Homo-oligomer: A and B are copies of this chain.
Amino acid sequence: MEQMTAPADFEMALADRARNVEQCLQALLTSKPREGEIARPEELMQAIRHGVLGGGKRLRPFLLMESAALFDSDGLAALRVAAALECVHCYSLIHDDLPAMDDDDLRRGRPTVHRAFDEATAILAGDSLLTYAFDIVADEETELPAETRARLVLLLARAAGMGGMAGGQALDLQAEREKPDEQGIIKLQAMKTGALIRFACEAGAIIGAAAEPERQRLAEFGQAIGLAFQLADDLLDATSDATALGKAAGKDAEAGKATLVALHGIDWTRQQLSGLVDQANALLEPFGERAATLRQAAQFIALRSF
């Protein structure tokens, strides 16, 4: 890794995209029912908006839009599918925060949805958001050919479902009872956090009607940075507490959580991260300067921990 701080133009690009996604989500999450809907209950919509709007770096939408931009498809379609992806991400946060899951009271400094409303409403808000994501992708307003819309629905469902994110969350619950081995940790993380990040990059290529080898390349790029994302997260937990609290390891270690950092240590993890950024950069090679922002994104994801 040549450079360890995110350049200002990258931060600006990230914030720009986030603003666009926020606006798109705001428009999508009005209380006005769309064709085929009977009514949108106001309290449910408030809970949904609470869980989606007003925060977050919108990293997954950013990756999707930047991946699509590689193939000159930087328009409405990418923005809408990115918004759908963010709906899936936010549904997973709402359900993960529930008392039966992580039991969190706060998210981004605000009460979680089940605290601001109630548990039943939070469950339904998550269910509604997940459902709405497929609505948005399948809708012809997305201005993609039907073939592409159906393909993206399938790809998103596989990334989010029992064999992807939701399955990874189930493995994470199991891991609290029975510690996974190294392969188990890798699988868990690839499913729980990796699958949606991979989807972001691959979907961008599909929206851009990329040729098959390039779609594959973007999928592999997404897989590499998805793994980096999780490693950086684990490292952040291990090192930020070390600095802040003057102890050798953070709350994951305290909770006895099985992570690759816990297994291999901080130095090994930093080396892995560096290797993943190199791998990500290599995958973007054929795109030259056009992929500058995605390269910065890979670094941004990895350097969060330094």
A residues near B (Cβ < 8 Å) are 33-41, 43-45, 48, 91, 95, 98, 100-101, 118-121, 123-124, 126-128, 130-132, 134-135, 137-140, 145-147, 149-151, 153-164, 166-171, 173-174, 187, 190-191, 195
6 closest A-B pairs by beta carbon, nearest first, are: A37-B163, A135-B157, A100-B119, A36-B158, A131-B161, A138-B153
Q: Which residues of B contact A160 (CB under 8 A)?
A: 131
Contact of A161 among B121, B135, B163, B171 (CB under 8 A): B135
Contact of A146 among B131, B150, B162 (CB under 8 A): B150
Copies in the complex: 2
The reply to whether A162 and B126 contact each other, CB–CB distance below 8 Å, is no
- Shortest A132–chain B CB gap in Å is 5
Q: How far is the CA of A28 from the CA of B290 in the complex (A)?
A: 42
- Shortest A30–chain B CB gap in Å is 11
The reply to whether A150 and B138 contact each other, CB–CB distance below 8 Å, is yes
Q: How far is the CA of A119 from the CA of B103 in the complex (A)?
A: 12
Q: Which residues of B contact A118 (CB under 8 A)?
A: 100
The reply to whether A131 and B162 contact each other, CB–CB distance below 8 Å, is yes
Q: Which residues of B contact A45 (CB under 8 A)?
A: 162
Contact of A37 among B41, B123, B124, B162 (CB under 8 A): B162
A-B contacts, 13 listed (Cβ < 8 Å): A36-B159, A37-B164, A41-B162, A44-B167, A45-B162, A100-B119, A100-B120, A121-B173, A124-B169, A131-B157, A131-B166, A138-B138, A149-B150
